[in-house]
Structure 1
Amino acid sequence: MPEEILRRVLIAPVYDVAQQTPLELAPLISKRVHNKVWLKREDLQPVFSFKIRGAYNCMVNLNAEQRQAGVIAASAGNHAQGVALSATKMGVKSVIVMPRTTPPIKVNAVKRLGGQVVLEGDSYDEASKFAKKLAAEQKLTFIHPYDDLDVIAGQGTIALEMLRQHSGAFDVIFVCVGGGGLIAGIAAVIKQVWPKTRIIGVESADAACMTEALKAGERIILPQVGIFADGTAVAQVGKIPFRIAQTCVDEMITVTTDEICAAIKDVFEDTRAIAEPSGALAVAGMKKFVEQNGVSGLDMACIVSGANVNFDRLRHIAERTELGEKREAIFAVTIAETPGSFKQFCELLGARRAITEFNYRYAASDHATVFVGVRTEGGHPEKEAILNELKAKNYPVQDMTDNEMAKLHLRYMVGGHANGIQNELLYRFEFPERPGALLNFLILMSEEWNISLFHYRNHGSAYGRVLVGVQVPPEQHHAFEVYLTQLGYPFVNEQDNPGYELFLKPTR
């Protein structure tokens, strides 16, 4: 299989539409991690993503009858633009099925590139199913985003460029992974020329389909997929990429949302370009690899795979960056409800530590629980030092730095415990960003259940994050679980979250 990929890479005519992108040394990142780090700038493609390579290489190999009939693809962004531009270049009709939740900026981009957009479903899977149905009905050729030999070979041309651009083998190459087409193409080429170069795939921790598949020795379907890194939010890796990864990929690394946000900032500081979350995955994985293994002096490359990020997502990214860089810690601290207690608390933290956030509302006459953010230039060791100092002074304290509910919702909701609310259940949801999502949530809900808490934030993505409290009598818990299943929205039970106990849980 790798030999066949290399053969196809060598004859792939991708430069009819794609560009040879630069391989740039990242001096600031290199200095910070004590290794030489190079960035392969696929964000500089005409559609701001590597996807143009595979899409065109697949389509240029279609026969005359297939070209005459036209092509169809399902995508929420990068692959859609690659197919649309390639089709326009070739004079071929293109139909792009996109989820209804796709932001207008991406829909309009596909239309500008000549694609006929059809909006269907709330997810990629639903859009893909509908696209395959249309393909059969209209005799269109379905262009798969990653599970196709020619698509994989198109992505593999990136590796061919890197071989020419760098003198000598890299020690490690980091590649983001969604369906697996990109890493399959790069790994198949590199391992035949630089066999000692380690190929490491990087996935978001909440969308790690390749990681789990390699562990299991077979492709698995993730029951739930996080959508922050939407370009790689795939529930099951492709058949062909998985087979190649089993022999050509050395290791997988998963990273958190905060670590991805920190990597976006790293790329920006070196290039003044803003990578999309999936585009920064490789850099995030590289940083984690260095931290976990304590390596230095290596020659390493990261594929910056794309830059199609919605502008309104930047607020959320900026908020989470400090946490991802371990420059901010979040605590829930109980202090005395007396004059001067806040001053004493700040004095304990010291003048050299900046308080980044302080949320509080009066709830009891003898004590106050505050939500506080503290700048920690020293990273994890400094956070641990603050915890120890607070405990030594008998302050009850909870570390909330890695508490997702606290970071998404709680910091905006601190306002005191409610009184007299019984049988409250707390859940965190991802609602599709489309008209009717909330109404559907309410229509399916029994009128016997009362919503006692609701907090929603939009982060500029296809899904909104929602925290909901619902009053459900114990004897109806099973019925509520059935409701959650029928609803079909991803959810997390937050009943035992310490932040709920400290700030939101009703008092008796």
Structure 2
Amino acid sequence: MTTEGKLTAEEIDEAHRVLSKVVTHTPLAYDDYLSKKYRANVYLKREDMQRVRSFKIRGAYYNIIKAEKEKLNNGVVAASAGNHAQGVADTCHNLKIQATIFMPVITPNQKVEAVKRFGGQYVTVILVGDTFDEAQSAAFEYTEKHNMFFVAPFDDRRTMAGQGTVAVEVFEDAVEQNINVDYLIASVGGGGLIGGLSTYSKKVSPQTTVVGVEPETAQSMKAAFQAQKPTTVENIDHFVDGAAVARVSQFTYNQAQQYVDKLLAIPEGKVAQAVLDLYTYEAIVAEPAGAMPIASLDFMASDIVGKNVVLVVSGGNNDIGRMQEMEQKALMYKGRQQFYLVEFPQRPGALRQFVNDVLGPNDDITRFEYTKKINSETGSVMVGILLDPVTKVDDLTARLAAFFPKYINLQENTVLFNMLV
């Protein structure tokens, strides 16, 4: 990996000259729905429209094409939660280079199958570990053992230079469309994209405010900013799998610390709602990491009124099987979906009393499962309630407390929630 010294805008320009013949110049599209909603001029940089449906092809291809040929003789190795793997797979298929790609076991199947499809006979996928960092550790060991070339997903100046070419296209199109970009907002995982974007942005448009958005449960760049060095974040959540990185690198931290103006943390439920809204209102399929910049607008609403805002939709590799999970997370974030554990009386009419005394007239029971019978008089029940939009959660819990004072709110107990829900 090459990380000495800071990346320059000139290096990103050079990467753009190479990649302009290889990658898709994706649209910078005015978004009427979001513009009206936030009273701003909102533009989407549609990296979900790349051949591999994410920006990662840029860094992967540029890193491999610029590598010394003798280093590629034994093939390449990569570690990825999905999108970087697809970029490496597509590149290796086109260049006829063998690749071994390590992915976390929990990677959505849609991404695993896409890697195999793009790579074909040139790619071997190895699933290992529960996190990106565990998969990367295994990839490092494999690389050293077999004397192969490691294609870093973010901790490499050539990878970052390739990813930074997103900004070259943004500002080329902004000039063509006569747009002065006030805000440039992109997701942060390992820091390669935001590092490249911010570096180029501050060179060609110093007045542009660059904002990086992280999952609330995986704020590795924020942790680095606070500690003034990379630090490992414990117990990260993997819902936003494309940005669930426990530790940024020294190289990406150095770049972001100098050029990124602001970091925002976005709750999972808000990200899920953004994914659903993009699909419902605009027929755009975005993965959680790709939808995070859209989700951030609620937290910047007062700042962006009347401004020109560019959001990087970094990827569209979303597994349709996750949509039910996203709907549930969005409803929970808005307070409409609630889950409780109660000890239910074992007598006739108890359920009717619960419905009459606890639920509002338009609330609905979505889950009702006995988990264990305590004795002949009571049984533990996990109950899911979908609240009517006018029902207040506090009113519901007050009625629930009157029905059974020792209820457990599962949203407040992660272990029980994951086990039961």
Asked whether the equivalents of residues 27 and 270 of structure 1 are also in contact (C-alpha less than 8 Å), the reply is no
Q: With structure 2 as the length reference, what TM-score do the two structures score? A: 0.82
Residue type of the partner of 2:141? Answer: K
Determine the structure 1 residue equivalent to 2:170.
162
Q: Superposed, which structure 2 residues align to 1:335-346 within 5 Å? A: 341-342=353-354, 344-345=356-357
Q: Which residue does 2:73 correspond to in 1? A: 68
* Cα-to-partner distance string for 1:43-82 (whole Å, 9 max, x where unaligned): 1111111100011111111123224343221223111111
CA distance in 2, matches of 1:261, 1:179: 21
1:121 corresponds to which of 110, 128, 143 = 128
Q: Deviations over 1:344-368 (max 9, x none)?
A: 547x835xx5436474879997999
Query: SS of 2:392's equivalent?
Result: helix
Q: CA deviation at 1:262?
A: 0.4
Deviation string, structure 1 residues 367-426 (Cα, Å, up to 9, x no partner): 999946344546xxx636746985999996989595364xxxxxxxxxxxxxxxxxxxxx
2:283 to 247, 253, 272: 272
Q: Secondary structure at the match of 1:145?
A: coil
Contact 1:331 1:398 in 2 (8 A): no
Partner of 2:412: 403
2:124 partner letter = V
Matches within 5 A, 1:324-363: 324=333, 326=334, 328-330=336-338, 341-342=353-354, 344-345=356-357, 349-350=360-361, 353-355=362-364, 357=366, 359=368
Which one scores higher on RCO, CA 8 angstroms, separation ≥ 6?
A: 2
Q: 1:129 to 1:2 in 2, by over 3 A?
A: closer
Summarize the Cα distance change of 1:318–1:202 in structure 2 as closer, same or farther, 3 Å threshold. Answer: same
What is residue 289 of structure 1 aligned with on the other side?
300
Residue 313, structure 1, aligned to residue 322, structure 2 = yes
1:55 matched to which residue of 2? 60
Query: How far did 1:342 drift?
Result: 4.9
TM-score, with length taken from structure 1: 0.69
Counterpart in the other structure of 1:29: 34
User: What amino acid does structure 2 have at the position aligned with 1:147?
Assistant: D
> Structure 2: which 5+ residue stretches go unaligned?
none
Residues in 1 aligned to 2:230 and 2:22: alpha-carbon distance in whole angstroms: 33
- Tell me how far 1:155 sits from its aligned partner: 0.9
CA contact (8 A) 1:258 1:321 kept: yes
Alignment correspondent of 1:186: 197
CA contact (8 A) 2:86 2:115 kept: yes
Q: Deviations over 1:463-498 (max 9, x none)?
A: xx545xxxxxxxxxxxxxxxxxxxxxxxxxxxxxxx
8 Å Cα contact 2:357/2:403 also seen in 1: no
Aligned AA (1:116): V
Q: Is the 8 A contact 1:14 1:57 kept in 2?
A: yes
Shift of 1:101: 4.5
Which amino acid in the other structure matches residue 122 of structure 1? Answer: G
User: SS at 1:16's partner residue?
Assistant: coil
Please, which of 5, 17, 21 is the counterpart of residue 8 of structure 2? 5
1:41 aligns with 2:46: yes
User: Which amino acid letter does the alignment assign opposite residue 7 of structure 1?
Assistant: E
- Checking the alignment, whether the CA contact within 8 Å between 2:214 and 2:265 is kept in structure 1 is yes
**1:322 aligns with one of 317, 331, 336:** 331
Partner of 2:274: 263
Work out whether residues 365 and 383 of structure 2, in 8 Å CA contact, stay in contact via their aligned partners in 1: no
Aligned residues: 403
Q: Distance in 1 between matches of 2:367 and 2:106?
A: 35
Determine whether 1:15 maps to 2:52: no
Secondary structure, counterpart of 1:95 in structure 2:
strand
Stretch of structure 1 that moved more, 148-157 or 89-98:
89-98
> What is the one-letter code of the residue matched to 1:258?
G
* Secondary structure in structure 1 of the residue aligned to 2:295: helix
Percent identical across equivalent pairs?
30
- The change in CA–CA distance for 1:118 and 1:295 in structure 2 (over 3 A counts) is closer
Structure 1 residue runs of 5 or longer lacking an equivalent are 406-426, 429-454, 456-464, 468-498, 500-508
Paired with 1:398 and 1:329, the residues of 2 have a C-alpha distance of 16
The corresponding residue for 1:135 is 143
3-state SS of paired residue (2:154)? coil
Q: Which amino acid aligns with 2:129?
A: D
Specify the structure having the higher radius of gyration (Cα).
1
Quote the Cα distance in structure 2 between the aligned partners of 1:287 and 1:148: 33
Q: Give the CA RMSD over aligned residues.
A: 3.5
Distance 1:150 1:139 in 2: 20
Q: Distance in 2 between matches of 1:312 and 1:360?
A: 23
CA gap of 1:344–1:242, structure 2 versus 1, over 3 A, is same
Equivalent residue for 1:217, pick from 228, 233, 258 = 228
The alignment partner of 1:263 has SS state of helix
Q: Shift in Å at residue 341 of structure 1?
A: 4.0
Which residue of the other structure, out of 373, 381, 384, is the alignment partner of 2:385? 373
| 1:144 pairs with one of 135, 149, 152 | 152
Q: Deviations over 1:163-216 (max 9, x none)?
A: 122233222222111100010011111122222222111111111100111112
